[in-house]
Amino acid sequence: MRSFKNILVTGGAGFIGSHVVRRLTNKYPETNIVNLDLLTYAGNLENISDIEHSENYAFVKGNICDRDLLINLFKKHNFDAVVHLAAESHVDRSIANPGAFLETNILGTAALLEVAKAHWIHENGAFKNAETGSTNHNLKNVFYHISTDEVYGSLGEEGLFSETTSYDPRSPYSASKASSDHIARAYHHTYGMPIVISNCSNNYGANQFPEKLIPLMIKNICDQKSLPVYGQGLNVRDWLYVEDHANAIDLILHQGASGSTYNIGGLNEWSNIDLVKYLIQVVDEKLQRPKGSSDGLITFVKDRAGHDHRYAIDASKIERELGWKPSETFEVGLEKTVTWYLENSEWLNKVVSGEYEKYYEQHYGK
């Protein structure tokens, strides 16, 4: 098990990043955590307000594409690990405006890799290259790149994505994540840099910006607005509770084998339409509305361009090697999630005011 003195987390004000930053800050009080986040529409310091005064935590507002900033941060904090989550993350936005995805997800990741490599070689000497036969791989540093199962493309009715499935990204988002995975892997193979990568299925839980399916539906069911479902709603996704993902990230950071990829998933497949119907049931019940009172809000809309049919994950490697399994059932995780959104309507209103509202109306109407 590795231990670190100073960890750079990128994107720690976003959905998954906020759960990761909180976990690392609270669980490892001897480790300094620096959270670098640009605070785009998806980043919100309220997501982590409970740890902002922790002695081992600091926030820096900035862009991962800014090399000078990265160089200065590495000089100042001498990071021994990077947990890289910062990204543009919404597929629909990548279809409307791929540029920001290419910049942040590809060029930003490349900038981080380059600055980390130069700093670690300067501080600790050249990496020992596992490819050239050394077994004493440099475990002092770890660059952990967090990615998505969407890099693998689309499945038919059968089968699962494993770590050896060929990449076949189909949206600008997944193509940008696939590119950054390849660049990270290339830094391992070429320079012997200690890299770990994980590819995870769809997350749900508190703090997720309500453009993604689950929080969007919860909000609209509460507000009695239409529930836009792409096509016939038959696309299938695997859903994982965000705390289970944060736990997997913690394990991989501290115990994952350098040069390895881990698939993370919930073995919890739902078609979009079944999921929306289930959410209606849970939200209406919580709001003590008569059963089925929101069913009529479902509105089938024109399918997403290039919409992948099905994603599903074989997570047996991380279970076998690191002993990880999801601990939350979907019923309980979703109930907690709905409760969180109902109790945090102020948070919801704040994050959807301004830019999101315009975006929402352009895509789905008023």
Ligand X SMILES: NC(=O)c1ccc[n+]([C@@H]2O[C@H](COP(=O)([O-])OP(=O)(O)OC[C@H]3O[C@@H](n4cnc5c(N)ncnc54)[C@H](O)[C@@H]3O)[C@@H](O)[C@H]2O)c1
Token pair listed for 167:
């990449």
- Binding window for ligand X (CB under 6 A); candidates: 59-67, 249-257, 282-290, 340-348: 59-67
Nearest to 207 by CA among 9, 2, 12, 7: 12
On the CB side of 50, CA atoms within 13 Å amount to 8
* Residue 79: strand, helix, or coil: coil
Cα separation of 65 and 363, whole Å?
29
Structure tokens, 42: 């998806």
Q: Does 39 bind ligand X (CB under 6 A)?
A: yes
Region near ligand X per CB under 6 A, out of 144-152, 290-298, 320-328, 351-359? 144-152
- Tell me phi and psi for residue 230, to 5 degrees: -65, 135
Alpha helices in 295-354 (DSSP H): 316-322, 330-343, 345-352
Binds ligand X (CB under 6 A): choice among 7, 8, 51, 64: 64
- Which stretch, 26-34, 48-56, 196-204, 345-353, contacts ligand X (CB under 6 A)? 196-204
Give the separation between CA 154 and CA 283, rounded to whole angstroms.
30
Minimum CB distance to ligand X, residue 249 (Å): 9
Measured from the CB atom, is 209 or 270 closer to ligand X?
209
Taking residues 81 to 100 in sequence order and writing x for each that binds ligand X by CB under 6 A, - otherwise, the string is: ----xxxxx-----------
Q: Between 127 and 209, name the residue whose CB sits nearer to ligand X.
A: 209
Considering the rule CB under 6 A, would residue 120 count as an interface residue with ligand X? no
Amino acid occupying residue 323: G
CA distance to 152, 169, 311, 312, per residue, from 308 (Å): 10, 9, 8, 12
Q: With binding defined as CB under 6 A, does residue 337 bind ligand X?
A: no
- Closest distance between ligand X and the C-beta of residue 203, in Å? 4
Residues of span 198-227 touching ligand X by CB under 6 A: 200, 202-203, 209
Residue nearest to ligand X (CB): 14
Q: Which of residues 286-325 bind ligand X (CB under 6 A)?
A: none
Q: Pick the binder of ligand X from 25, 35, 148, 235 (CB under 6 A).
A: 148
Q: Which two tokens stand for residue 157?
A: 């009715």
What is the per-residue burial (b if ≥16 Cβ within 10 Å, else e) of 4-34? bebbbbbbbbbbbbbbbbbbbbeebeebbbb
- Interface with ligand X, residue 65, by CB under 6 A: yes
Phi, psi of 364 (to 5 degrees): -120, 0
The interface mask with ligand X, positions 158-187, x = CB under 6 A, is: -------------------x----------
Stretch that binds ligand X, among 11-19, 223-231, 314-322, 325-333 (CB under 6 A): 11-19
Out of 32, 40, 179, 268, the only residue in the binding site for ligand X (CB under 6 A) is: 40
Task: Give the residue from 68, 40, 37 showing the smallest Cα distance to 52.
Answer: 37
131 or 357: CB nearest ligand X: 357
Q: Does 16 bind ligand X (CB under 6 A)?
A: yes
- The Cα 52–Cα 59 span in angstroms is 8
* Chain Cα centroid distance, residue 149: 10
Q: How far is the CB of 13 from ligand X (least distance, A)?
A: 4
User: Using an 8 Å Cβ cutoff, are 42 and 29 in contact?
Assistant: no
Q: List the one residue from 22, 48, 57, 108 that touches ligand X (CB under 6 A).
A: 108
Which of 206, 201, 230, 234 minimizes the C-alpha distance to 218? 206
Sign of CA dihedral 137, 143, 144, 145: negative
> Of 141-149, 214-222, 254-262, 348-356, which part binds ligand X (CB under 6 A)?
141-149
How far is it, in rounded angstroms, from Cα 134 to Cα 128? 6
Which of 4, 8, 17, 169 contacts ligand X by CB under 6 A? Answer: 17
Which residues are marked as active site? 149-150, 173
Question: Judged by CB under 6 A, which stretch of 14-22, 188-196, 293-301, 339-347 contacts ligand X?
Answer: 14-22
- Which residues contact ligand X by CB under 6 A? 10-11, 13-17, 37-40, 42-43, 63-65, 85-89, 104, 108, 146-148, 177, 200, 202-203, 209
